[in-house]
Amino acid sequence: MVAILPPTTAQAPVVEQLLDHGFGPNRQNKTSYRFRDGVAPIQSLARVAVSGEAVVGTIQYWPMRLGRESVLLLGPLAVWIGWANQGIGGALMATSLSAALTEGWQHVFLVGDLAYYTRFGFEPSSPWGVTMADEQQHRLLGRCLGDAPPPQPGELQPMRANSAATASAPAPASVTTSAFFK
């Protein structure tokens, strides 16, 4: 049986190993990782899939700006290869997206394959006029949560602690962007 839970400090090294395994040891060189530099992930939305004591999957979210709106960047989502095709990625998505909706988030973006993420309600962001600098635009996908209307057009920007954008429009109430692990 697999449980979907918030991550603990003790699980941090295993999560990093899982991400290296899934995306390669140079994963931090990807464009989407540059948007995470100097930005803390949203701890309240992070989840791990656990079987017994073993971490078998993980999902993380990061705060971003789209104009004046606070939005989410989903990722990475990873599952150990031996646990693939068992619904763990779907369970991580469902649990964390439900938490994001509960916290008041309206829009989630990710860089990934439409063929996989369409089952979770994601669609190309280009019809909305949403872009991400230096990223392959056909891989930038978005989703409205609940009954939120489509987002305003614009370019996704990192939400860095000292940026003017952060000060002018904070993330929705009850959202914490402290350290990833408790």
Structural domains for the chain: 3-168 (3.40.630.30)
* Of the candidate ranges 24-28, 158-162, 178-182, the one whose mean pLDDT is the lowest: 178-182
pLDDT in tens, 91-142: 999 999 999 999 999 999 999 999 999 999 999 999 999 999 988 999 999 9
Following CA atoms 65, 66, 71, 73 in sequence, which dihedral angle do they give, to the nearest 10 degrees?
A: -80
Query: What pLDDT score does 161 carry?
Result: 58
Q: Is the distance from CB of 93 to CB of 120 less than 8 angstroms?
A: yes
Q: Model pTM?
A: 0.83
Tokens 């693939």 locate to 84
What is the number of residues in the chain?
182
